[in-house]
């Protein structure tokens, strides 16, 4: 089964609480951090919260920026991400704002809860029964395989976050720490007791945002240090999918590329021979869509289904050089360029010599090579 990339997002007090017990929701984030969350929402295919969060917070879960929504539409995506909730009982408030704002909605529930959820919601949302219990593996597989969700943002609540972490199904945790204490044992906490996956998480970023601090973590393999990030596999699969969109050619490889910021935001994507340019390369097409002054490029990763070229005859600058000029210092690819068109190709060597990190994920070589099967073996 294939699953989406699962990003957990939460804000907590210094003593680990999601809220207090007052009648109004405790605002933990700052205005600038709310805007960051809006950008992350705009980058994903779906947003998930538990039914308890809908009851407690009555969230809308929208992409608030009109510019970000317009960019989604221009990229061929729905204006809003799919909104998803999970409930064992089907006990849902049909008047909640969750159902009456944004785009499509989906409910995952048990066989018993499905009848109640469908009766309460009418045609407001799709209802998917998962069997006698809530099976997170089946839920994620359905989102990926049936609904086409490749990137899932989970915004709560604590029970949902705890279950995904304990099952080892979270690929990233974005945690915002607010400078206050709650101190009420009756208030909801982010993580509950239980058996979590062993090993320390890997801290990938810390960032001050006004008076709060963002910390990003990824799982690690016990005793072996960091494993290849699930994000790398997700975005490289996306690049491979883009390669399949290339117009066929007998004289050039079909390649896809995605530029992704350190916070997981997609900056641009492209593929070989895109648009009206018969000789444009994937990395070149993607980088051309990013503002060269964007400060996120310095921490970004270029995902390319094929090793970036070190030499080319169609343009003065090969893709390895374009990547370095852009300030990118991390590249993830699926296979090395063969000598089919250029002898002794070594884009990896050019990148590494300039101080860039190159990660090769050979398990994705198959889908990367598939659009080029007619060229291999020459």
CB crowding 257-282: b at 16 or more within 10 Å, else e: bbbbbebbbbbbbbbbbbeeeeebbb
Q: Which of 167, 112, 105 is nearest to 137 (CA)?
A: 167
Task: Please give the pLDDT value at position 229.
Answer: 58
114/108 Cα distance (integer angstroms):
8
- The continuous run of DSSP H or E covering 100 comes out as none
What pLDDT, on a 0 to 100 scale, did the predictor assign at position 225? 35
User: In the 8-state DSSP scheme, what is residue 322?
Assistant: H
At 263 the pLDDT is 76
Q: What is the dihedral of CA 239, 245, 248, 251, to 10 degrees?
A: -30
Give the C-alpha separation, 151 to 43, whole Å.
8
pLDDT of residue 343: 62
Cα–Cα distance measured from residue 163 to residue 179, given in angstroms and rounded to the nearest whole number: 26
Q: Which residues sit opposite 212 in a β-bridge?
A: 209
Strand partners, 65: none
At 262 the pLDDT is: 82
Give the pLDDT of residue 146. 94
126, 157 Cβ separation under 8 angstroms:
no
Q: Answer whether 358's CB lies under 8 Å from 331's CB.
A: yes
Q: Which residues, at least 6 apart from 338, have a Cβ–Cβ distance to it below 8 Å?
A: 345, 376
Q: Check if the beta carbon of residue 333 is closer than 8 Å to that of residue 236.
A: yes
Going from the N-terminus, what domains does the chain have, and what CATH number goes with each? 5-226 (3.40.430.10), 230-372 (3.40.140.10)
246 and 369 in contact (C-beta within 8 Å)?
Answer: no
Burial of 301 (0-12, 13-18, 19+ CB in 10 A): buried
Three-state SS at 40:
helix
Name 309's Cβ contacts closer than 8 Å, sequence gap at least 6: 281, 318, 319, 320, 337, 342, 345, 347
Q: Which residues pair with 108 in a beta bridge?
A: 86, 128
State phi, psi for 227 to the nearest 5 degrees: -90, 160
**DSSP per-residue codes, 114-131:** HHHHHHHHTTSSEEEE-S
pLDDT score for 195: 80
Q: How far is CA 23 from CA 20, 26, 52, 184, 282, in A?
A: 9, 9, 15, 14, 52
Give Rg (Cα) of the chain.
22
pLDDT along the chain (378 residues), means of 10: 85 94 89 95 96 93 96 94 97 96 96 95 95 93 92 93 88 94 93 77 89 87 43 88 93 94 88 94 97 93 95 89 96 86 77 91 90 82
- Give the distance from CA 34 to its chain's centroid: 18
- The answer for residues whose C-beta is within 8 angstroms of residue 74's C-beta and 6 or more apart is none
- By CB atoms closer than 10 A (0-12, 13-18, 19+), residue 353 is exposed
CB-side neighbour CA atoms (13 Å) of 259: 28
């Amino acid at each position: 089964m294939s699953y989406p990339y699962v990003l957990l997002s939460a804000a907590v007090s210094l003593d680990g609480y999601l809220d207090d017990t007052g009648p109004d929701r405790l605002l933990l984030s700052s205005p600038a951090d709310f805007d960051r969350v809006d950008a992350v929402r705009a980058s994903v295919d779906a947003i998930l919260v538990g039914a308890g969060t809908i009851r407690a917070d009555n969230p809308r879960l929208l992409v608030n920026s009109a510019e970000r929504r317009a960019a989604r539409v221009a990229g061929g995506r729905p204006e809003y991400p799919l909104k998803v909730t999970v409930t064992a009982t089907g006990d849902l408030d049909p008047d909640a704002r969750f159902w009456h704002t944004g785009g499509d909605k989906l409910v995952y529930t048990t066989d018993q809860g499905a009848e109640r959820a469908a009766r309460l919601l009418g045609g407001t949302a799709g209802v998917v029964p998962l069997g006698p219990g809530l099976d997170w593996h089946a839920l994620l597989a359905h989102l990926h395989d049936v609904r086409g969700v490749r990137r899932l943002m989970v915004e709560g609540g604590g029970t949902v976050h705890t279950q995904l972490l304990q099952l080892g199904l979270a690929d990233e945790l974005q945690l915002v720490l607010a400078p206050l204490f709650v101190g009420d044992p009756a208030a909801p906490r982010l993580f509950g007791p239980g058996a979590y996956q062993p090993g320390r998480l890997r801290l990938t970023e810390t960032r001050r945002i006004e008076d709060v601090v963002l910390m990003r973590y990824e799982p690690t393999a016990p005793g072996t240090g960091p494993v290849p990030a699930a994000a790398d596999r997700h975005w490289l699969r996306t690049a491979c999918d883009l390669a399949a969109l290339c117009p066929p050619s007998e004289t050039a490889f079909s390649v896809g590329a995605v530029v992704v910021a350190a916070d997981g935001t997609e900056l641009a994507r492209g593929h070989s021979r895109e648009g009206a340019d018969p000789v444009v390369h994937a990395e070149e097409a993607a980088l051309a869509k990013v503002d060269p002054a964007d400060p996120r490029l310095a921490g970004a990763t270029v995902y390319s289904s094929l090793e970036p070229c070190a030499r080319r005859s169609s343009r003065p600058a090969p893709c390895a050089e374009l990547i370095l000029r852009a300030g990118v210092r991390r590249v993830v690819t699926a296979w090395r360029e063969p000598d089919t068109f250029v002898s002794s190709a070594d884009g990896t060597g050019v990148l590494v010599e300039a101080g860039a990190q190159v990660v090769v994920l050979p398990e994705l070589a198959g889908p990367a090579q598939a659009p080029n099967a007619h060229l291999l073996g020459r």
